[in-house]
Structure 1
Amino acid sequence: MQLPRMIRVRQRFDRPIVTDIDREVHQQLAGLNLQHRVRPGQTVAITAGSRGIANIAQITRAIVAHCVELGLRPFIVPAMGSHGGATAEGQREVLAGYGIVEEFVGAPIRASMDTVIVDTTPQGIPVHFDRLAAEADHVIIAGRIKPHTGFVGEIESGLHKMMLIGLGKAVGAAIYHKAIKDFTFQEIILAVADSVIRKCRVLCGVGIVENAYDETALIAAVPPEAFYEREKALLSQARSWLPRLPFPDVDLLIIDQIGKNVSGTGMDTNVVGRKYNDHAPTELDDARVRRIFIRGLTEMTHGNACGIGLAEFTTRRTVAQIDSEITRVNCVTAGHPTAAMLPVVCETDRDAVEDALSTIGLTPPEHARVVHIHDTLHLETVLVSEVYGKEIKSRTHLEALGGPEPMRFDQQGFLVPLS
């Protein structure tokens, strides 16, 4: 089969950035005057999630340092629902993979999958909360704010989700994902967050927003009474900074790797256009991608292949990287079993590309609209097929870094990863 030639392209996005993480965290927290709400010697649980957040270990360390200045006794609790195989040790390993270890952050890490029920919502939903965090005198909710890969609303992924799914651990996450089948995410968020803030001594939140280059763009300390309005505004900001594919209409999207450190669904559905339907774009999606080919998993996903079921093609080599048990637990807990389903499995990348291009309709393969990315977090440099050539020249935020070249396969038929 004659395959399209590819052009290396650089995208330019807005690039706000926090240059001094420690100073910014300290100033944000100092602005809340927490000394009037705490007493020296009290304990404070600080959340740490399972997403690959830029500078997360340093941000966590800075939160710990501010708490120590206040005379508090901080400790870290994993807040990641069922991730890490739904085991305390697995969640510790996830944090360690991000550099969140006791020696670096300056506080002990206390991991448990046990929860306590602190309340029942008006919908009859039991509110589960991490037992160790519930025993602390205070809780600080820290996490990234961004568009969710499945939920839609004024609040999506951020501080509220950490209070619900993250600190609800596996049992709470399972209950809330089931409840979403009967109630809107917005209804559940408002009800559960209200209970957590009232009952669980939430001291404040630390919201993190990233730019399109996977860098820390904004850090905001938020008092609990302002969680909803502040997170709503931060979500709007995060959405405007989200990286995007260079072109919205794509016949085949090739992704070098997916993983939980990249996105909750392995690849960000806000980027690839599978937020509302696993295998077809809708009028609500910004991207319209016909076929997706996944080439591998990130090392930091620890075999969790959640999201592979949103693709149409993969390779046997990728399947060999999957930990089926970890993937099963995560996808079943999230109420999204199709995210774990296997696509068509090919022997080589060349086979996958040829099979995919034979299913896009009447377009000859050499004229197909193909985009090759490393992952959905890193979209500054991508490969696009030469059919996009004229459009590249007409868009000021795109720069061609060379002329069209044949797809680069090694002797075994595997593509050279995008670098």
Structure 2
Amino acid sequence: MEIKKGGVVSKLLADVAIPKMFRAKQIFPRPIIMPEEIPGIIFAELSKEKIKSLIKPGMNIAITAGSRGIANVDVITKGIVDFVKSKNANPFIVPAMGSHGGATAEGQIEILAGYNITEETMGCPIKSCMDTVILGYSELGKPVYLDKIAYESDGIIVSCRLKLHNAFRGKYESGPCKMMVVGLGKQEGAESVHSDGMGKIAENLPANAKVILDKAPILLAISCMENAYDETCKIEAIHKDDIMAREPELLKWAHTNMPQLIVGEADVLIVDEIGKNYSGTGVDPNITGTFSTDYATGGLQVQRTCMLDITDCSHGNGLGTGLSSAITKRLFDKLDPEKMYPNCLTSTVLKSAGIPIVVATDKEAIQLCIRTLNNVDKERARIIRIENSLHIGHIMLSEAYYEDVIHGKYAGLEAEDEPKYIEFDEDGNLMTSIFLD
């Protein structure tokens, strides 16, 4: 598909005015664990009375590592590896990411390397395969699978982030249960739990997890949670017997520390960069409101969204593009269907892999969103610009918000400068930084 600058679309958009914008700072509660504190906290958590005796000398211990861009994930993983070594056991890392990485063992190792998780940096082997064993059937009749290498270990430590899911709501969302069922389930396990659609996954997930806890050598979970600034703020080790009771409690805790776009409503959202390291759907819909299913709600109320680029560590997996109104040619040219579509075939959610309108430049993507607004004074369009959905401490807002912000309408939101026109280079690429110099 040829996308060219200067054609009919460019001419139709050429005169669309983009309102002045100003930089703003969003202020949230900030509990934090500094990176240098993480190893000590992990040792303390894994030394808790109920947990410390689980790892014995000589045991071969599988440690999970997922596909998300978790804050300090390499430090956390290395801390677990080092603790296992301190118990004279033999750690190894297992990629636990369902069908991500193109549903190949090599692709999953490639993703981990992008997060600085390699055999050299971790000081232990990484054993990646897509082979599974079937553990049985859940109480709802679903087959339950587990990574063959992990299953054959002497014990599994489920390391994961715990947070709200981006496509459904339930007592168990993104956390230990999902890491066991979907991550360690590989493509087959992920497909099993998703096969009834997102409307049923909140039931299938804990049902499958109970089988894994009963049949597989799970020892414990170690869950990390992040504050509104994408910083580690809580780490907790959970004995396998306590996972089903403790995970819902921690999910509520994580929810209270999530960030948000404080203004709540907008006409246009500009996302500089999407990526699998930010969310399974490129952006976290709990922030942006761009949900791929009808089984989760929240986030920004917005009419149009444009996405301008994608992270290199996504390796072309541009899930989420289908939830936007427009993307740039630059983003489109980086998409790799071989990396995107296995996720859709597994999850049965097709919407997020769609291709929206593709335009030549950043400027045209923004202009298209403004031009196609309905029932809005376009000269006073309410526009939000974010770097990505994980880092929203600093944002840009259009002039329509300015008076309300400086007069204190929005608690936790401060203007950092005055409204000015954003700048583009001669090729239509956005030059103005979200951050003050």
Where do 1:225-374 residues align within 5 Å?
225-275=241-291, 277=293, 284-374=297-387
Where do 1:64-75 residues align within 5 Å?
64-75=81-92
8 Å contact from structure 1 (residues 75, 108) kept in 2: yes
2:208 aligned counterpart, secondary structure:
helix
Partner of 2:145: 128
8 Å contact from structure 2 (residues 304, 324) kept in 1: yes
2:178 aligned counterpart, secondary structure:
helix
Partner of 1:12: 27
Query: Aligned letter for 1:399?
Result: E
Q: What TM-score does the superposition give when structure 1 sets the normalisation length?
A: 0.96
Structure 2, unaligned runs of 5 or more: 1-15
1:376 aligned counterpart, secondary structure:
coil
CA distance in 2, matches of 1:404, 1:410: 19
Partner of 2:232: 216
Query: Aligned letter for 1:334?
Result: S
Partner of 1:180: 197
Query: Aligned letter for 1:192?
Result: N
2:275 aligned counterpart, secondary structure:
coil
CA distance in 1, matches of 2:66, 2:317: 15
CA apart distance, 1:370? 0.2
* Alignment partner of 1:397 is 2:415: no
Give the 3 Å change call, closer, same or farther, for CA 265–284 of structure 1 in structure 2. Answer: closer
* Alignment partner of 1:378 is 2:394: no
CA apart distance, 1:354? 1.6
1:348-395 C-alpha deviation (Å, 9 max, x unpaired) = 122222221111123232200000001000001100001001221213
CA distance in 2, matches of 1:215, 1:234: 17
CA apart distance, 1:284? 4.2
Task: Say what the alpha-carbon RMSD is for the aligned residues.
Answer: 1.6
Give the 3 Å change call, closer, same or farther, for CA 370–223 of structure 1 in structure 2. Answer: same
Give the 3 Å change call, closer, same or farther, for CA 35–233 of structure 1 in structure 2. Answer: closer
8 Å contact from structure 2 (residues 23, 434) kept in 1: no
8 Å contact from structure 2 (residues 197, 349) kept in 1: no
Q: How many residues align?
A: 415
1:156-189 C-alpha deviation (Å, 9 max, x unpaired) = 10111000110010121112111336x7223212
Structure 1, unaligned runs of 5 or more: none
8 Å contact from structure 1 (residues 32, 221) kept in 2: no
Query: Aligned letter for 2:92?
Result: F
Q: What TM-score does the superposition give when structure 2 sets the normalisation length?
A: 0.92
Give the 3 Å change call, closer, same or farther, for CA 283–325 of structure 1 in structure 2. Answer: closer
* Alignment partner of 1:2 is 2:21: no
Partner of 2:6: none
CA apart distance, 1:407? 1.9
Sequence identity (%)? 40
CA distance in 2, matches of 1:407, 1:228: 49
CA distance in 1, matches of 2:296, 2:318: 27
CA distance in 2, matches of 1:219, 1:132: 26
